[in-house]
A and B are shown apart, each in its own frame.
Chain A
Amino acid sequence: MAETVLETEGLTMRFGGVTAVDGVSLKVRARELRCLIGPNGAGKSTCFKCLCGLLKPTEGHVFLRGEETTGWDPHRIAAMGVGIKMQVSSVMDGLSVQENIWMAARRHNDTGAATAKAEEVIDRLALGPIARTDLGRLAHGERQRVELGLVMAQDPWLVLLDEPAAGMTGEEVTRMAEIIHEMTRSAAVVVVEHDMQFIRSLASTVTVFHRGRVLVEDHVDRVMADPVVRDVYLGKQA
């Protein structure tokens, strides 16, 4: 069994009276691909924010590669080698694609190596034609791709992607799935998604969130067949 790179113990996040994440215990191993699904408001994004330090959990613990990182600042967690893409697209709008990706690469490389790394990621994601364009001028799908590029350029061993395929066209989604698979050669990848088609194409272990708790955790095919999950998703596309 590969080493555990991400572990949470009884992770809980409350906002006033709302318990968004309620005693979640997760374990993700090196180079594993894990999908998190669940209806709107299930607490997936909140859980993500606790993992990457944007929120300090009310209770519970987070361990990354065996080290307790509960309550650490985001930059320390990211600097360990964790690549993060939040649900709401977040990039440096006034800067070019190249400059954005260079900045991600620069964290663990000197200037020259970062430039080369950015070049490589731009090629890999076929961003060449828009490399000099400011992010603010790009279409939604392109921005998503650039954000993936930021994550790739960091050479992470743990990748957290919150709805990376949202708002993308069918072709773009297929490409995204390919890229995610490729990432698992060097990193454990945790993906939050709603698109069942996409999740099936990733064919991985799925953790289902419901009202802040983990409902089931199993292979995607068995999860999809589970009547409880279908019930939770009633009215959704499952």
Chain B
Amino acid sequence: MAMTTGRSAARDTGVVVILGALLVLGLPLVADTNMLTLLVIYGMLALSLGLIWGFGGILCFGQAAFFGLGAYTFAIAGINIGESTLPLVLSVLVPAAVAALLGAFMFYGRLGDVYLAVITLVFSLILFRWLNTTAGPAYVIGNARLGGFNGIPGFPLLNVPGYPRWELWGDPLYYVAAVALLVVFLLVSWLLRSSFGRIAIGIRENEERVSLLGYDIRARKTVLFAIGAGIAGLAGALFAAWAEVVTPSLFSLQQSAEIIIWCIVGGLGTRFGPVLGAAVVTSVKITLGGQAMLDNMLVLGLILVLFVLFLPRGIAPELARLWAWAIGGNRKPVRRRAPRGGVADG
């Protein structure tokens, strides 16, 4: 069901742009843009893991590391450069380069999936622990003090390229972040339709077979891993611009775990699922945050267990099924088998 023909690709792009534009413009009417910005940023972060895990079969337990690296790069480069355009670019490139190195080490070393999960997790925890120890004045990069567990405040916020004084926050930041998510979503869609993406899905399905077709899966997985890290890094930069401070908690175990939960709840192997999962889970978390009765982590764990047991394919495939049923009129909703059909989703 991969969208191979030019016509269906154009239709898919059209649907995404129209629905995306409606959501970008419509959501501020019903919800607070400050919170929406966070949902959009988390959606992009979820999409980064959804890409490498759901389509590439790479389960990274430390996706937060690249999110955090993007945020720190944005803050540190911003302080040194004085505006945000180049830092924004660097916040994509630095995590991507780090992921390329880490990925090359893991994939060329032929580490199994479990080791991959452990190494990515340990990598993010090392950064977490180390950044927590950088409180002293000795820890500086250029003019930026790392600041230990307090992190880095007071860096330049996002500005209009070329105009450092025109800083974007509040509603404009929401629109920038939302459009960025839409663009990244379209780029991911394009990637998945390209030969590279289709072969990546083949690698997810059967690594050995794809290598017996003559493809170097190590190189391909490394590249995909780096792309995912670049997207996570961009989300990190936007998060930094939103929060106006970066702290080591970006690298925490809880952050990494949440990204995985978003993907499972939303629907792995779909593009829209992880974005939706991030929005739903984060909304629930924020709603619950106002009360003290239930522990947040406990609720998240409960949500995860319920989904794994009762809706293992996530929300997005079920929504797609309902949608197909609604526009198909009297046809019955068909339950499709595995959670892994090409790129066919909403």
Residue B324 at the A interface, CB < 8 A? no
**Which residues between 64 and 81 of chain A lie within 8 Å of chain B, taking CB atoms?**
73-76, 78-79
Question: Contact at A95–B205, with CB atoms within 8 Å?
Answer: yes
Residue A154 at the B interface, CB < 8 A? yes
Taking a contact as CB atoms closer than 8 A, the residue among A92, A106, A132, A137 that contacts B195 in the complex is A106
In the complex, per-residue mask of A73-96: 1 if CB is within 8 Å of any chain B CB, else 0: 111101100001010001111111
A52 to B211, CA, bound (A): 11
Which chain B residues border A100 with CB–CB below 8 Å? 202
In the complex, per-residue mask of B172-204: 1 if CB is within 8 Å of any chain A CB, else 0: 000000000000000000000001001101101
Binds A, one of B148-156, B312-320, B337-345: B337-345
In the complex, per-residue mask of A91-132: 1 if CB is within 8 Å of any chain B CB, else 0: 111111001101110111001001100000000000000001
Question: Contact at B340–A91, with CB atoms within 8 Å?
Answer: no
Residue B206 at the A interface, CB < 8 A? yes
A93 to B212, CA, bound (A): 15
Range class of the B interface residue count: 20 to 34
Residue A172 at the B interface, CB < 8 A? no
A200 to B212, CA, bound (A): 29
In the complex, per-residue mask of B210-249: 1 if CB is within 8 Å of any chain A CB, else 0: 1111111100000000000000000000000000000000
Question: Contact at B206–A91, with CB atoms within 8 Å?
Answer: yes
A95 to B205, CA, bound (A): 8
Residue A41 at the B interface, CB < 8 A? no
Question: Contact at B214–A107, with CB atoms within 8 Å?
Answer: yes
Question: Contact at B211–A74, with CB atoms within 8 Å?
Answer: yes
Within the complex, the shortest CB–CB distance from A85 to chain B, in Å, comes to: 9
CB nearest neighbor in A for B201? A95
Question: Contact at B202–A92, with CB atoms within 8 Å?
Answer: yes
Residue B4 at the A interface, CB < 8 A? yes
A139 to B217, CA, bound (A): 28
Residue B118 at the A interface, CB < 8 A? no
Given contacts A95-B201, A95-B202, A95-B342, contact A104 B337 (CB under 8 A): no
Which chain A residues border B216 with CB–CB below 8 Å? 73, 75-76
Residue A30 at the B interface, CB < 8 A? no
A70 to B329, CA, bound (A): 60
Question: Contact at B214–A90, with CB atoms within 8 Å?
Answer: no
Question: Contact at A79–B206, with CB atoms within 8 Å?
Answer: no
Which chain B residues border A134 with CB–CB below 8 Å? 337-338, 341
Taking a contact as CB atoms closer than 8 A, the residue among B4, B210, B212, B338 that contacts A115 in the complex is B4
Question: Contact at B213–A154, with CB atoms within 8 Å?
Answer: yes
A92 to B114, CA, bound (A): 22
Question: Contact at A75–B201, with CB atoms within 8 Å?
Answer: no
Residue B208 at the A interface, CB < 8 A? yes
Residue A54 at the B interface, CB < 8 A? yes
Residue B160 at the A interface, CB < 8 A? no
A136 to B341, CA, bound (A): 11
A137 to B201, CA, bound (A): 18
CB nearest neighbor in B for A98? B4
Residue B294 at the A interface, CB < 8 A? no
A137 to B2, CA, bound (A): 17
A62 to B50, CA, bound (A): 41
Which chain A residues border B217 with CB–CB below 8 Å? 75
Residue A28 at the B interface, CB < 8 A? no
Which chain B residues border A79 with CB–CB below 8 Å? 214-215
Question: Contact at B210–A92, with CB atoms within 8 Å?
Answer: yes
**Which residues between 244 and 302 of chain B lie within 8 Å of chain A, taking CB atoms?**
none
A106 to B209, CA, bound (A): 14
CB nearest neighbor in B for A99? B2
Taking a contact as CB atoms closer than 8 A, the residue among B211, B337, B341 that contacts A73 in the complex is B211
Taking a contact as CB atoms closer than 8 A, the residue among A52, A95, A96, A106 that contacts B212 in the complex is A52
Given contacts A103-B199, A115-B4, A136-B338, contact A94 B205 (CB under 8 A): yes
Q: Chain A interface (Cβ within 8 Å of chain B)?
A: 52, 54, 73-76, 78-79, 84, 86, 90-96, 99-100, 102-104, 106-108, 111, 114-115, 132, 134, 136-137, 150, 154
Q: Chain B interface (Cβ within 8 Å of chain A)?
A: 1-2, 4, 195, 198-199, 201-202, 204-206, 208-217, 337-338, 340-342
A-B contact pairs, 13 of them (CB 8 A): A75-B211, A75-B213, A84-B212, A91-B209, A92-B206, A93-B206, A95-B201, A95-B342, A96-B2, A99-B342, A108-B214, A111-B195, A137-B337
A-B interface, 7 closest residue pairs, ranked by CB to CB distance from nearest:
A79-B214, A92-B205, A78-B214, A94-B340, A75-B211, A107-B214, A90-B209
Extra contacts besides A79-B214, A92-B201, A94-B204 (16): CB < 8 Å = A73-B216, A75-B211, A75-B212, A76-B214, A78-B214, A90-B206, A90-B208, A91-B206, A94-B205, A95-B342, A96-B2, A103-B202, A104-B213, A106-B195, A115-B4, A132-B1
